[in-house]
Amino acid sequence: MNGLPILSIITFAPLVAALVVLLLNNERAIKTWSVVSSFVIFLLTLWLWFAVDPKALGPGEFAFLEEYSWIPAINVFYRMGVDGLSVPLITLTGLLTFLSIFYSTYVINHRVKEYFFLFLFLEVGMFGVFTSLDYFLFYVFWEIGLVPMYFLIGIWGGPRREYAAIKFFIYTLAGSVLMLLAILGLYFSTGTFDLTALPGQELFGGNFVLKSLAFWGIFLAFAIKVPMWPFHTWLPDAHVEAPTAGSVILAGILLKLGGYGFLRILMPIFPDVFNAYWPVVAVLAVISIVYGALVAMAQWDLKKLIAYSSVNHMGYAMLGIAAAAATLNSSDPAVLDSRAIAVNGAIFQFIAHGLITGALFFLVGVIYERAHTRDLKAFGGLGAVVPKYYAFMAAATFASLGLPGLAGFVSEFMVFRGAFALIPYIAAIGVLGIVLTAAMYLWKIIQMVFLGPLNEKWKDLPDMHWWEIATLTPLVILFTLFGVYPKPILDYVNAGVVALLDLMS
Amino acid sequence: MQINWADTSFLLAPEILLTVGALIVLVLDLLIEDDTSPVLPGFTLLALVSAFGAAAAHLVTGVDDVALFMFAADPLTHFFRLLGIGTALLVLLVSVNYVQARSKHTGEFYSLLLWVTLAVVLVAGAHDLILLYLAFEFLSITSYVLVGWLRDDARSNEGAMKYLLFGAISSALMLYGMSLLYGATGTTRLTEIAAFFTIPETQITGLYSIVVPALVFLLAGIGFKISLVPFHQWAPDAYEGAPTPVAAFLSVGSKSAGFAVLARVLLEAMPAFQEHWTSLLVVLSILTMTLGNLVALRQTNMKRLLAYSSIAQAGYILMGLAAYSAGATFPADGLSGVLIYLVAYLFTNVGVFIGAVIFEQATGSVAISDYAGLIRRSPWLAFTFVVFFLSLAGLPPTAGFVGKLAVFYATVAKGLYFLAIIGVLNSVVSVYYYFNVIRQMFFMPAPEGAERVRMPASMGLALAISFVGTLLIGFYPEPFLNLANMSRDFISALPLL
Amino acid sequence: MSGAELFFYVLAVLAITSALAMIFTPRPVYAVLFMVVNFVAVALLYLQLEAPFLAAVQVLVYAGAIMVLFLFVVMLMGPAPAPLWEHIPAQRPLALLFAVGLLGALATAIRKGAFTPLTGTMSSAIATAGGQSQALAEHLYNRYLLPFELTSLILLVGIVGAVVLARLPRQKNPTTD
C-alpha cells in the first residue's frame, strides 16, 4: 500500500461530484458538471486499466491494495484492491456511466438535480462492489447501489415505474439479506471478513450442510442479480420501466455485479460446494439461455425483447462459470485449459454484453423519443427513412446475436469451447439459444422495424441527432474492435482468470 | 444494616437529579404565569443534562455497586440510564413547540417527562422483584397520563384508556408471576434467585412446575411493555392517540426499559432455565416481527404505521435475547446485540417520530397521503426520512444496519437458523411499507398550493441530532460497539445484607 | 382439617365470591360494598398470618379511605352506566374457556410445586424485632427504603395525572390505581 489511495479516489469521486450537483442550481451547470466529472472519472478508470499489470499479480494478489482498520470490534477492514478480473469491469462502469450521463443531459429535463445526483451516487456503489476486498464492505456497497436505482426507476421511468421500482428493490434485497446471514455465518466460523483470506479456509469446521446453506444463501443473492432463471422476473419490469440511461446501467453493469460475485466470492470460497452442486447451476444457466431467447422472441415490445435477451446472454456467461465449477476438482491440463477458456469467455461476455446491450438500450431510447412507442408491430420500412439509425441498430443486433467479427461472437465461442469440453451435453442444449437469438433479432428487429413496407406514420421521422451518434459510436467501435482484435482484453482478463483458478487448485 | 448516605447519594446521583428536577419544575410551574416561558423547558433540559452527565461519569469511572440494597448501579444500568435520558433529551427538544400549541398544562408535561425518565432508569437498575414491580408500575402510570394528556382529543383518551386497562391486567399477571417465583425460591433478590437454582438439592421437578408458569406470567407482563405479540394490542391506539413526542418516548424509552427488565430477569435471575425461555422467546420474536410487519403494510396513518413498525422492531431486538449465550465472545452473546440495536433504534426511531412531529406541527396532518411531494416542500426533511427509513429497514450504511447485524450475528452464532431467516425476510417485508411512505414523498406531486414545511429551531436541532447519530453509527460504529461491550456486565459485587 | 385450615378456606371462598360478585353485579354501589367485603376477608387472612398491624391497616386504608372515595365517585357519577357492547360474539364463552383453562393449568402446577417454606415462624420474627410495627418499620425504612420512596412518587404522579386529566371543562375519570 503506497502513495495515493487511488481506488478510494475512484470509488468516491462520483460521490464528491454528486454532492457538488446538490449545491448547483442552474440546470445547464448541473448537466455540464455531470458530464465533465463523469468523463474525468472514466479517464481515471481507463488509466487504471493501463496502470495495473495483471500478469504481475499472482494468485490471491491484488494491485493498489488499501487496508485500513474500520471496525476492530468485529474485525472489519476497509480493504480495496483490484486484479485482472475487476479492472475491466471498473473501466466498463466508468465508460457506460459517462455515456449514460452524456445521453441523459439531452433527454432528462425535469427534476434534473436529483437525477444526476442519484446517477453519480449509483456509480459509487458499483465501483465499490468491484474494488472491495472485505466482505462487510462489499455488502455495504452492494446495498448502496439499490437505493439510487429505486429512485431512478420510480421517478423518471415509464407508466408502471412505481411497481417496477419496488419490485426490483425488494426482489434484489431478499437475496441480499440471505447473503448477509451467510456472511455472518462465515465470520462466525472463520473470524474474518477478508476476501483475500477466506478462500482456502476451512469453513464451519468442515460441516457440509452448513457450508451448503451458506453457499445457497450467497448463490441466491447473485443469481437474482445476474439474473438466472427462475429469479429473473424482476428484470423485465425494471428494464422496461426504467429511463433509457437507467436501463443501460442496469443491463450494462448491475447484472455484472452478480456475475462478478460468482467469480470473486462464490467460487474461491466454496470450491467444493460449488463443485458438488454444479449441475443445478448449469441447468439453470441453460434454461436461462433457452427460456430467455424464447420469451424474448415472443415479445412485441422492443425494450422488453432486449430485456429478456439479457437473461439469455447472461445465461451464456453462467454456463461458462458452471462448466468451470464442474471441473474444479480436476487437475488434468486439458481440463484446466478449457476451464480457463470458459471463465475467460464468461468475463468477456460481461464486457461484450455490457457494450452491446448498452448500445441496444440507447437505440431503443432513440426510437422511443421520436415515436413514443416501442411496439414492433407499429413500425416497418424504417430502413429508408432513418438510415443511420438502421446502421447502428443493425450493428448492435448482429453483435448481440453473436455474429463473428463482433465481440458477442468471441465470448460465446469461448464459453462454448470451454463448456463443450467440460460439460458437453448441457452445453449442447445451450447452443440452441444461439440459433433462437439469431432468429429473434433478424426477424423481430431488423425485419419488422426496418424492412418491409413503410408505415406512413413514420415518414418524417428524424434520423439520429449528433449526440445520439456520439453516445453510440464509442460502443460500436469497441464491440467491433474487440470482436476483430480481442487480444488485449483477453490477455488482461486471462491473467486475472488464471490467478483466480490457480487460487482454487 | 446501616445505610451509607454518602455512597447512596453518589450511586443514585442521576436519579436524585431527575427527581429534584421534576419537583422543582412542578413548583416553578405554579410560580410562572406565562405558559410559553422558556424557563420550564430550560430547567427540564438542565435537569436532564445534569443527570446525563452524572450517568456518563458513572459509566466512565466504572461504578459497580448496589445502592439501597436494591438498585444495581452496574454497567448495564449506566447504559440504560444514558439511553433513557438521551431519549428524553431528544423528546424534550421536539415537544416544546408541540406542547405549547396544544395545552396549558405545559409544566405538568415537563415534570411528567422527567418522571417517566426516572421510571425508565429505575426499572433498568432494579435488582429486586419488589423494586422491579414498583418501578414498572411507576413507568406505566406515568405513561398512561402522558398518553392521555391531550384531554380534549377523543383518541388520546381512548389510547390512554386501552393502555391503562391492558397495563393493569399485565401488571397483575406479572405480580402473580413474581409471587410464584418468591414462593419457589424464598427470596426476591435477582442474584439470590439465580443462586437458589444452582444449589444441587433444588433441582427437582417440583421447581419447574412453579417456575415455568412464573416465567410465562413475567413474560406476559414485560411483553406488554415491549409490545410483543400477543400483548401488543394497546400499542397502535396508544401511539396514535398520544401526543406524537410521547409516542416517540414510548417507542424507544419504555421499550428500552422493558428490555432491561427482560435482560435482568432472564439472564441474571434465571439463567438456569435458559432452554425454557429460549424457545418461548423464539416463538414470541417470530410472532411479533411477522404480525407487526404484516399489519403495518395496510396502514394509512403515519402514527399507526410507526406503531406497528415499533412492534416489529421489538421482535428483532428480542432475537438478540433469544440467542443469548453467556460467555460467548462479543458480539455473539446476544445481549450486546440487543444493546447495540437499542442505541441505533434510539436515534432512528426518535428521528422518524421527530420528522412526523415536524410535519404534523406544520400541516396538522398525520395521514401518509398528505406527505405527497415532501421532497418539493422540504427537501431536507424528506431526505432525513429516507435515511431513517433505510435505518429502520436495516440497510447499510445506517445505524439500523449495525443493530440488525449484531442481532442476526448472535442468532446465527447460536444456530437458530430458522429464526434468522424469518428475521431477514421480515426486514424485506418492512421495506415495502417504509418505501411506500418514501414513494409518497418522492414520486407523488405536491398538492396544489402546498407551502414549504416550517421547522422550528428546537425541532430542527433534534432532527439533526438524530440524523447525524443514525449515520454516524452506520459509518463509524466502533465506539458504540465498545459501549455495548462494556455494558454487558451485570452487578458483580454484592454487599452482604 | 384443623381449625386454622377451615378458617382459611372459609375466608378464601369469601374473598373469591365477593370479588366475583363485585365484577358481575350491575349496580355500582353493590360493587363497592362487595369490594369492601373482599378487603375485610383479606384482612382476616392477614390476621391468620399473624400480621395484626397489616390487617388493621388494610381495613383502615383500603376499606376505610379508598372505598369511601370510590363511593363518592359512584354517587357523583349518577345512575348505572350503559350496558357493555361486546365486539366479538363469542367473547364470553371464550373468556370463560381461557379462564378455566388457565385456572386448571395453574392449579396443576401449584399442586405439583415445591414451594420454599420460610424458616422460623412469623411470631418469632416479630418477637426478635420487638413488635410487628417495629419489624415493619425496620424493613420499610431500611431494606425497602427505595420502593417505599418510589411509592410516594407514584402517588404524586397519580395526583398530577388526575389534575391534568380531570380538571375543567369536561368531566373525565381521573386515573386510578
* pLDDT of A92 higher than 90: yes
Residue from the list C114, C116, C142 with its beta carbon closest to the beta carbon of B3: C142
Over range A372-401, report the average pLDDT: 87
Residue B497 lies in a domain: no
Please tell me if residue B408 touches chain A, with a CB cutoff of 8 Å: yes
Sign of the dihedral through C-alpha B313, B319, B324, B330: negative
Higher pLDDT, B494 or A438: A438
Say how far apart CA B237 and CA B254 lie, in whole Å.
16
* B49 located within any domain: yes
Number of domains in chain B: 1
Report the range of poorest mean pLDDT among B228-237, C123-132, C134-143: C123-132
Instruction: Inform me whether the pLDDT recorded for C71 exceeds 70.
Output: yes
CA distance B225 to chain C (A): 17
The whole-number pLDDT of residue B152 equals: 83
Residue A201 has pLDDT above 90, yes or no: no
Residues of A engaging B, defined by a Cβ cutoff of 8 Å: 70-74, 114, 139-140, 143-144, 146-147, 150-151, 154-155, 161-162, 166, 169-170, 173-174, 177-178, 180-181, 184-185, 187-188, 213
B231: helix, coil or strand? coil
Which long-range contacts link A466-469 to residues 24+ away (Cβ below 8 Å)?
A: A467/A102, A467/A103, A467/A106, A468/A103, A468/A106, A468/A362, A468/A366, A469/A388, A469/A392
Average pLDDT, chain C: 82
**pLDDT at residue number A18:** 94
CB–CB of B160/B141 below 8 Å? no
Q: Which residue has the higher pLDDT, B127 or A443?
A: B127
Q: Do A73 and B330 touch (CB under 8 A)?
A: yes
Size of interface A-B (CB pairs under 8 A): 79
Q: pLDDT tens, B438-458?
A: 999 998 888 877 777 788 888
Q: For residue B4, which phi and psi values (nearest 5 degrees)?
A: -90, 105
- Domain extent, residue B366, equals 5-487
Residue B168 located in a structural domain: yes
Residue C170 confidence class, pLDDT cut points 50, 70, 90: very low
Which residues, in sequence order, are bridge partners of residue A132? A80
- Please report the pLDDT score of residue C136 as a whole number: 80
- What would the mean pLDDT of B316-345 be, rounded to a whole number? 88
Identify all chain B residues contacting C146, using CB atoms and an 8 Å cutoff: 67-71, 131
Distances (CA, A) of A255 to A34, A68, A250, A317, B419: 24, 29, 6, 11, 30
* AA letter at A466: W
Q: Considering the domain boundaries, does residue B275 fall inside one?
A: yes
The residue-averaged pLDDT of B215-219 equals 92
pLDDT of residue A499: 86
Nearest-by-Cβ selection for B396 from A114, A140, A154: A140
Contacts of C109 in chain B (CB under 8 A): 209-210, 212-213
C123 has pLDDT over 70? no
Question: C91 and chain B: CB distance < 8 Å anywhere?
Answer: no
Q: Does residue B291 sit within a domain?
A: yes
pLDDT given at position B304: 93
Q: What is the mean pLDDT of residues A169-188?
A: 94
Instruction: Quote the pLDDT of residue B204.
Output: 62
The per-residue pLDDT for A254 is 94
Whole-number pLDDT of residue B205:
63
Which CATH number applies to C1-81? 1.20.120.1200
Overall average pLDDT of the A191-212 stretch: 87
- In 3D, which of A414, A298, A354 has the Cα closest to residue A88? A354
Q: What is the 3-state secondary structure (H, E, C) of chain C?
A: CCHHHHHHHHHHHHHHHHHHHHHHCCCHHHHHHHHHHHHHHHHHHHHHCCCHHHHHHHHHHHHHHHHHHHHHHHHHHCCCCCCCCCCCCCHHHHHHHHHHHHHHHHHHHHHHCCCCCCCCCHHHHHHHHCCHHHHHHHHHHHHCHHHHHHHHHHHHHHHHHHHHHHCCCCCCCCCCC
- Stronger pLDDT, B198 or A11, i.e. the higher one: A11
Residue B492 lies in a domain: no
Lowest mean pLDDT among A456-465, B26-35, B446-455, C146-155: B446-455
Pick A180's closest partner by Cβ from B424, B431, B443: B424
User: Predicted confidence band at B375 (pLDDT cuts at 50, 70, 90)?
Assistant: confident
Residue B496: inside a domain: no
pLDDT at residue A189 above 60?
A: yes
What separation in angstroms does the CA of C61 have from each of C32, C57, C160? 15, 6, 21
Q: Complex ipTM above 0.95? A: no
Look at residue A336 in the predicted model and tell me its pLDDT.
85
3-state secondary structure of A229: coil
Tell me which of A12, A172, A188, A209 to substitute to probe the interface with B (most B C-beta atoms closer than 10 Å): A188
Q: Which of A161-175, A434-448, B31-45 has the highest mean pLDDT?
A: A161-175
| Residue scoring higher pLDDT (A167 or A53) | A167
Cβ-contact B487, B81 below 8 angstroms: no
Write down the domain spans for chain C: 1-81, 128-167
d(CA B388, CA C8): 59
pLDDT band at B389 (very low <50, low <70, confident <90, very high): very high
CA distance A210 to chain B (A): 10
pLDDT above 70: percentage of residues in chain A: 99
Q: Where are the alpha helices (DSSP H) in B103-128?
A: 106-125
Per-residue pLDDT averaged across A59-82, rounded?
Answer: 89
| Residue B421 pLDDT grade (very low, low, confident, very high; cuts 50, 70, 90) | very high
Within-domain flag for B346: yes
Q: Is the pLDDT of residue B345 over 90?
A: yes
pLDDT-based confidence at B67, cuts 50/70/90? confident
Coil/strand/helix, residue B178: helix
Average pLDDT (A235-250) is 93
pLDDT value at B497 more than 60: no
Tens digit of each residue's pLDDT (9 = 90 or more) over C55-66: 999 999 988 899
Of B395, B409, B478, nearest to A143 by CB-CB distance is B395
The answer to whether the CB of A163 falls within 8 A of the CB of B417 is no
On whether the CB atoms of residues A125 and A148 are closer than 8 A, the answer is yes
Q: Which one, of B412, B415, B229, B392, lies nearest residue B309 by Cα?
A: B392
Measured between beta carbons, the chain C residues lying within 8 angstroms of B148 are 165, 175
Contact B122 C150 (CB under 8 A): yes
Instruction: Say if the Cβ atoms of B442 and A213 lie within 8 Å.
Output: no
Provide mean pLDDT across the span A466-477: 92
Question: Is A71 within 8 Å of B478 when comparing Cβ atoms?
Answer: yes
Report pLDDT for A411: 92
Mean pLDDT of C136-154: 88
Q: Cell 360478585 sits at which residue?
A: C21
Inspect the interface and report whether the beta carbons of C153 and B209 lie closer than 8 Å: no
| Shortest Cα distance, chain B CAs vs residue A109, angstroms | 16
Predicted confidence (pLDDT) at residue A323 exceeds the cutoff of 60 = yes
Looking up cell 403495518 gives: B296
> Which of A141, A184, A241 is most worth mutating to test chain B (most B CB atoms within 10 A of its CB)?
A184
Q: In this complex, which of C113, C142, C151 lies closest to B209 when CB atoms are compared?
A: C113
**Does residue B214 sit in helix, strand or coil?**
helix
Confidence check: pLDDT of A284 > 90: yes
Averaged pLDDT of chain B: 89
Does B36 have pLDDT greater than 80?
no
Check residue C175 and give its pLDDT.
Answer: 42
pLDDT digit string (tens) for A387-438? 888 899 999 999 988 888 899 899 999 999 998 888 888 888 888 888 888 8
Q: If you measure CA to CA, which chain C residue comes closest to B208?
A: C113
Per-chain mean pLDDT for chain A: 90
pLDDT score at C130: 67
Confidence band for C156, pLDDT divided at 50, 70 and 90? very high
